[in-house]
Amino acid sequence: MSSSTSPSSLDVITFGEAMMLLVADRPGPLEEAQAFYKRTAGAETNVAIGLARLGLRVGWASRLGTDSMGRYLLASMQGEGIDCSHVICDATQRTGFQFKGRVTDGSDPPVEYHRKGSAASQMGLADIDEPWLLSARHLHATGVFAAVSASTLPAARRSMALMRAAGRSVSFDTNLRPTLWGSADLMRREINQLASLADWVLPGIDEGRLLTGLNSAQDIAQFYLAQGARLVVVKLGAEGAYYQGSHQGQSVSGHVEGFPVAEVVDTVGAGDGFAVGVVSALLEGLDVAQAVRRGAWIGARAVQVLGDTEGLPTRAMLLETGL
């Protein structure tokens, strides 16, 4: 499929780092693994792939090396039909990668990142092509891209502010990566500032507690609504999600149950799958309860597969469920 779509026809744009993912073939400590499965990884790219599979026209901006990992990631994204016209491939830089272990008890698997000084960490304000960005209906942002380097933080801030000022919608998944920040206080301050630039804020319950100092999903939602969000959806893991705010001119709030899962294979990617469901449904004009239910269903699919994107459904699969 073509690597570029007509810019004026894009539904969603996202900025972020893609990494090659190596998943251990068996449970146990990473150092004892003898073989690995090769996959793609990256919070923003997971969402981009998920939205593209549902038929949305998606653009992704990033930087990669010209090494084999960078070529693999670019081909994978192009193969999903994503506009990669704003991905810069730099022969002087290297592509980030990560290892992920396997667990059998449903807990979060061990993850080891090798991304410091990567090509994507060189991204900054110069990587924002304003006409291209503003041609899209929506921007999906996460706390990961902002945390990658000192130059990606202002780029994250600027892209969100531009879209908000232009009347486009912006979604923000807090997606905390504490090891990428200088301190917990810096992370809290910057993530909350970014959240104030978004229309739809999507924190996990534990993330929300860390960021706000508040305990309940309702209080966390009210914190971000007071900062300027229009809608807050707090992810509650297996218990589903709580939402509060306004949509299509009406006040909304409620709880959506999670979808039962027989066996949790890999929790990584569940939040990205949830974002795919919520963002796609809201952009399609569905109500918030429907959007959150779709998010919960895709999130449940994501935890039942090995990699970050294998559980992301096609439009045909989605239609079969009525979601």
Catalytic site residues? 272
Task: Name the one residue in this structure whose structure tokens are 């039962």.
Answer: 260
DSSP 86-120: EEEEETTS---EEEE-B-SSSSPPPEEEE-TT-GG
Nearest to 291 by CA among 208, 235, 238, 249: 235
267/105 Cα distance (integer angstroms): 11
Does the CA dihedral 40-43-45-47 come out positive or negative? positive
Phi, psi of 3 (to 5 degrees): -80, -5
Q: Which two tokens stand for residue 307?
A: 């990699």
Query: Which runs of E-coded beta strand occur in the chain?
Result: 12-15, 19-24, 36-41, 58-65, 83-90, 97-100, 111-114, 138-142, 169-173, 200-201, 231-235, 241-247, 250-256
Task: Please enumerate in sequence order all residues whose Cβ is within 8 A of that of 42, keeping only pairs 6 or more positions apart, or say none.
Answer: 16, 17, 18, 19, 144, 308
DSSP H or E stretch at residue 300: helix 288-302
212/220 Cα distance (integer angstroms): 7
Task: Name the one residue in this structure whose structure tokens are 């309702």.
Answer: 218
CA-to-CA dists, residue 86 to 63, 89, 127, 182, angstroms:
8, 10, 8, 29
Q: Which two tokens stand for residue 254?
A: 């409620």
